[in-house]
Amino acid sequence: MKTRLSLLALASILCGSLSAAEDNPPADDWKPAPSNQVGKQYPQVNSEGRVKFRIVAPKAQIVGVSFRDSSPFTKDADGAWTGYTRPLDEGFHYYTINIDGADVPDPNSHYFYGAGRWGSAVEVPAKDADFYALKNVPHGQLREIQYWAKSSNTNRHAFVYTPPDYDKDTTKRYPVLYLQHGAGEDETGWGRQGYAGLIMDNLIAEGKAKPFVIAMEFGGNPFAGGQRRTNAAPADAGATNAAAGPGGRGGFGSGFNFSAFEKVLIDDFLPYVDANFRTIADQSHRAMAGLSMGGMQTRMITLAHPDTFSHIGVFSGGSIAVTNITDMAMFKKKVKLVFVSYGSRELGGDRPARGGDPKANTEALKAAGINAQFYVSPDTAHEWLSWRRSLHEFAPLVFRN
Amino acid sequence: MKTRLSLLALASILCGSLSAAEDNPPADDWKPAPSNQVGKQYPQVNSEGRVKFRIVAPKAQIVGVSFRDSSPFTKDADGAWTGYTRPLDEGFHYYTINIDGADVPDPNSHYFYGAGRWGSAVEVPAKDADFYALKNVPHGQLREIQYWAKSSNTNRHAFVYTPPDYDKDTTKRYPVLYLQHGAGEDETGWGRQGYAGLIMDNLIAEGKAKPFVIAMEFGGNPFAGGQRRTNAAPADAGATNAAAGPGGRGGFGSGFNFSAFEKVLIDDFLPYVDANFRTIADQSHRAMAGLSMGGMQTRMITLAHPDTFSHIGVFSGGSIAVTNITDMAMFKKKVKLVFVSYGSRELGGDRPARGGDPKANTEALKAAGINAQFYVSPDTAHEWLSWRRSLHEFAPLVFRN
C-alpha cells in the first residue's frame, strides 16, 4: 500500500510537472524576427510574443539569455542550444546571450547601441508596425555628419534627417526638430531602432505631417566617467575614427548634469545645423523632443531657452508642471506645444512618475491656456515602441502655427 | 648517473620550452585597438601587430579566436580569458571569438559587415593612418538613402557621400564615382571600414583631389542563395525595415554572374543618383571602381558600357588586358584612366592573379596609349588597408581632364 501510494504520488508529481509544461506549450507559429541579420532564421517570435533563440555551442555547459523567466536552454544532437522567453510586449528589446558565463551578442541579430554597448536586440512585431514600415513612398535621407565643436574643442558626430523633397527645391527652408536619445543610448538610436526617418517619410506621404529637418546629437552617457566618449585631440583621431562605428567621438560622461550637453547643443550644434542646412532659423520653427534622459534634457533646456524652442516633446521623461513655469504669460506666448507621453506600463504602480503625475500636470497646463497634449502608448513599457509611437503622434502637431 | 642524466634532460627540456616561450614574449606595449567600442580596453594591439583579447567566461572550458597560430587562451582568477595572435599585417581584420564551440562576436569590438555577417573586426593601426584620420577639416556627409528600383521591383538601400561644400553652392554640379564592396560585404563597407568619406575629406582639404560624389550600392552576395537579401514586397516591409540595420534590403544572391547587379546599377541606381544629386550626368564625369568582387564588377560593367564610364578602378580584383578591349581606338578615346591595384602580399606566390599579371597587363595598356596606372599597397594582403590606400591613390587621378 505504501509502495502503491508512493508510486501514485510519484506519478502525480511526474504528470503534474508534465502537464505544467504541456498546459502552456508555446504556440508553434514561430517566425524569424525582423531584427535578425540577413538570412538568419533565429531568433524567432511567436504569436504570444515569446522569442526563441538558437545558439550553436557544442561544448558549452550552460547557455541562456538575459530575459528574466526564460525557459532553460536545451542542447540538440547537433550541439545547438534553444530556449525561449516569457511572452514579451510588442516592440524592441535589448538582450545578451550567456555562454558558460560569458555575456556576448547573439551572432544572429543585428546590433544596436543601447544599454551602454553595441549589442543584440530583438523586435517583437507590433500590430501597428505599418506606421514605421519601409514603403514605396518618397524617402528622406539620414545624413551622418562630422563637425568641429568649439565649446568642447572636439570633433562631434551627429545625424540629420532631411525630408524627401529637401534636394528638389533648393530655395525652400524647413523647421527643425532636435531629437534626443535616452541614457545608455547615442545619436544612432532614433535613426536606427527609432525608425525616425521611416516614420516621417510615411507621415509626409500621407499628408499628416509637414516636412521638417530632424537633428540628432549625442546627449552624453550619465553612467560613464568623464573618460568615456571623450574624444582625443584631432591629431590622434585615427584612434577614434568616425567610420569605425558611430558612438565614439566628442562625447562627455556627465551624470545627470546636462550643462555640458546644453552648451554643445545651443552653442555648437544648433548654429552648425542652421549654417549647413536650409532651416528656418527662428524660435517658432524650432522644436526639441527626447525620450527618457532625452526628455529630461528637453524639459530642462527648453524651459531655460524659451527664445530658442517653440515646440516641446517629453517622451517617458517626466512632464512640465505649471509650477515649473516662472513666467506663464511669456510661456503662453512663446510655447506652441507641450507634448508629454508614456508607455501604458510605465504608469500606475508604486513608482511615481518623475516630477508628478504627467496626465494631471498636462491637464493643468491646458487649463492654464497652454496647447498641451498627453499621449499613452498602449501596452508598452519604457522602450522604443513607446517612443516610435510618441514621435508618430508628436510630428503631426508641430509647426502647425 | 642515469638519474642525473634524466634530470638534466628534463631540465633541458623544461628550460628549452621555457626559453622557447621567453625568447619571443610579446612586446609589452599593448594599447586598446581603435576598432573597440567606446570605453573598452580590449582587444589591444602591440608594436609587433599582435592582438590580445580578453573575454570574461568564468565557466568556459575553452576560449579562442579565429586568427590562425594564436596563443592558447588562459583563464585568470576573475574568470577572464586572454590570448593573443601572431603578428598581423597593419590594417583591418575580421574575426570571431569561440567560446566552448560557439562562434560569437567579441562583445568589446565594433561590428562591421563582412564575411557575410555583422561581426567583429580589429584594426591594427597603420603607420600611414593619417590619410584616413578624422581631422578638423571641412567634412562631407555620408547619406543613407532608400529608393525604389523598378528593374528589381524592390526598395533598395544605398549610401551616397557628398563632398564638404555640396550644400554651400546649390548651383554647382559634381562628377560621380560608383564604388563597390567585395564579396561577403555590402553597401556599408566603404563608408564604415573603408573610411571613404574621411579619405576624401582629407584629400580635398589638401587640394589633392577634386570634390566628387561617391555612390555605393549593394553588389550582391555570391555565396548566398537567391532567397537571401531579396526584399519582400513593400507591404511586408516591416520585416525588412531599413533602420533595423543596413544590409537586408533589395539584394540578390547571384553567384559571380553580375547581370542582375549590372541592371540595377545602370537602369535604376545611376538614373536615381543623377536625378537626386547634383551630378554632371555624362560619361566623362562618371567613374566606377571596386574592390575584389567589386573590381570584377567594375571591369565587366565598364567594358560593357564605355559610353557610361570614363574612369576605371580595379582594386585587388584583376586587371584589364589589351586583348579584353575589342575596339582599342574607341577605348582610347573614351576611357581616361585605368587604375589597377593590389596589396603586395597578394602578388607573387603560386596563385596567379585573375586574368593575368596585373602589372604586365597595365604596362601593355600604357604601351597601347591608355592612361593606365598600377599601384601596390606595401605589406598588405587582401584587406581594407590595401583598398583604403587604393582609393587614396585613385581619387587624385580621376576627373582631371
Q: Assess whether the previous peptide bond of B25 is cis (omega < 30° from 0).
A: no
> Judged by CB atoms within 8 Å, which residues 200-229 of B form the interface with A?
201, 224, 227-229
For the cut 60, the answer to whether the pLDDT of residue B5 exceeds it is no
User: In sequence order, what E strands does B175-334 have?
Assistant: 176-180, 213-216, 286-291, 311-315
Q: Chain A contact for B110, CB < 8 A?
A: yes
For the cut 50, the answer to whether the pLDDT of residue A57 exceeds it is yes
Burial A319-350 (b: 16+ CB within 10 A, else e): bbbeebbeeeeebeeebbbbbbbbbebbeeee
Phi-psi region of B255 (alpha: psi -120 to 50; beta: other; left: phi over 0): left
Give me A81's grid cell: 542550444
pLDDT digits (tens, 9 = 90+) for A79-132: 999 999 999 999 999 999 999 999 999 999 999 999 999 999 999 999 999 999
Rg of chain B over all Cα atoms, to the nearest angstrom: 24
Residues in B closer than 8 angstroms to A144, CB to CB, are 141-144, 191
Q: Chain A contact for B141, CB < 8 A?
A: yes
Residues in B closer than 8 angstroms to A105, CB to CB, are 104-105, 107, 111
State how far the Cα of B311 lies from the Cα of B300, in Å rounded to an integer: 13
pLDDT at A257: 86
State how far the Cα of B37 lies from the Cα of A14, in Å rounded to an integer: 49
Residues 6+ apart with CB under 8 A from B63: A102, B55, B57, B73, B75, B81, B83, B97, B98, B99, B100
Residues in B closer than 8 angstroms to A188, CB to CB, are none
The minimal CB distance from B197 to the residues A142, A243, A245 is found for A243
Mutate to test the interface with B, among A134, A167, A214 (most CBs of B within 10 A): A134
Residues in A closer than 8 angstroms to B146, CB to CB, are 134, 139, 201
Average pLDDT for B120-142: 98
Binned at pLDDT 50, 70 and 90, residue B350 comes out as low
Q: Which residue of A has its CA nearest to B56?
A: A102
Amino acid at A361: N
For the cut 60, the answer to whether the pLDDT of residue B239 exceeds it is no
The Cα-based distances of B122 to A22, A79, A244, B89, B277 in angstroms read 47, 28, 10, 11, 34
Q: Are A124 and A87 in contact (CB under 8 A)?
A: no
Q: Chain B contact for A252, CB < 8 A?
A: no
State how far the Cα of A325 lies from the Cα of B127, in Å rounded to an integer: 57
Q: At what angle do helices B196-205 and B384-394 cross, to 10 degrees?
A: 30
Residues in A closer than 8 angstroms to B145, CB to CB, are 139, 141
> Length of chain B in residues, anyone?
401
pLDDT at B224: 67
Contact criterion met (CB < 8 Å) for A242 and B197: yes
pLDDT at A221: 84
H or E element, residue A9: helix A2-23
For the cut 70, the answer to whether the pLDDT of residue B233 exceeds it is no
Measured over the CA atoms of residue B146, residue B148, residue B153 and residue B158, the dihedral's sign is negative
Candidate ranges A346-355, B13-22, B70-79; pick with highest mean pLDDT: B70-79
The minimal CB distance from B38 to the residues A129, A141, A248 is found for A248
pLDDT at B28: 97
Average pLDDT for B173-195: 98
Amino acid at B265: L
For the cut 50, the answer to whether the pLDDT of residue A22 exceeds it is no
Average pLDDT for B56-85: 97
pLDDT digits (tens, 9 = 90+) for B243-290: 333 333 445 555 778 999 999 999 999 999 999 999 999 999 999 999
Distance of CA B361 to the CA centre of its chain: 24
pLDDT at B251: 53
Give me B366's grid cell: 600604357
Binned at pLDDT 50, 70 and 90, residue A235 comes out as very low
| Residue A274 Cα, gap to closest chain B Cα (Å) | 12
Contact criterion met (CB < 8 Å) for A142 and B147: no
Residues in B closer than 8 angstroms to A141, CB to CB, are 143-145
Q: Are A334 and A306 in contact (CB under 8 A)?
A: yes
For the cut 80, the answer to whether the pLDDT of residue A52 exceeds it is yes
For the cut 80, the answer to whether the pLDDT of residue A352 exceeds it is no
Residues in A closer than 8 angstroms to B105, CB to CB, are 104-105, 107, 111
Give me A140's grid cell: 528622406
Average pLDDT for B328-345: 97
ipTM of the complex: 0.89
Q: Are A310 and A280 in contact (CB under 8 A)?
A: no
The residue with greater pLDDT, A72 or A5, is A72
Q: Chain A contact for B165, CB < 8 A?
A: no
**DSSP 8-state assignment for residue B192:** T
pLDDT at A9: 45
H or E element, residue B200: helix B196-205
Q: Are B219 and B295 in contact (CB under 8 A)?
A: no
Strands B44-45 and B31-32: antiparallel
Q: Are B266 and B308 in contact (CB under 8 A)?
A: yes
State how far the Cα of B293 lies from the Cα of B314, in Å rounded to an integer: 9
Residues in A closer than 8 angstroms to B241, CB to CB, are 34, 132-134, 195, 198
Rg of chain A over all Cα atoms, to the nearest angstrom: 24
> Judged by CB atoms within 8 Å, which residues 309-348 of B form the interface with A?
none
Contact criterion met (CB < 8 Å) for A146 and B134: yes
State how far the Cα of B264 lies from the Cα of B152, in Å rounded to an integer: 7
**DSSP 8-state assignment for residue B7:** H
**Single pTM value for the model:** 0.90
pLDDT digits (tens, 9 = 90+) for A238-249: 333 333 333 333
Share of chain A above pLDDT 70, in %: 85
State how far the Cα of A308 lies from the Cα of A281, in Å rounded to an integer: 9
Burial B157-179 (b: 16+ CB within 10 A, else e): bbbbbbbbebbeeeeeebbbbbb
For the cut 90, the answer to whether the pLDDT of residue A173 exceeds it is yes
**DSSP 8-state assignment for residue B350:** S
Residues 6+ apart with CB under 8 A from A235: B133, B135
Q: Chain A contact for B277, CB < 8 A?
A: yes
Q: Assess whether the previous peptide bond of A105 is cis (omega < 30° from 0).
A: no
pLDDT digits (tens, 9 = 90+) for A118-170: 999 999 999 999 999 999 999 999 999 999 999 888 999 999 999 999 999 99
Residues in A closer than 8 angstroms to B142, CB to CB, are 143-144
Residues in A closer than 8 angstroms to B132, CB to CB, are 238, 241, 243
Q: Are B231 and B252 in contact (CB under 8 A)?
A: no
Amino acid at B35: S
Contact criterion met (CB < 8 Å) for A100 and B58: yes
Average pLDDT for B75-80: 96
| Residue B71 Cα, gap to closest chain A Cα (Å) | 20
Residue found by looking up cell 510618441 in the block: A390
Q: Which residue of B has its CA nearest to A224?
A: B39
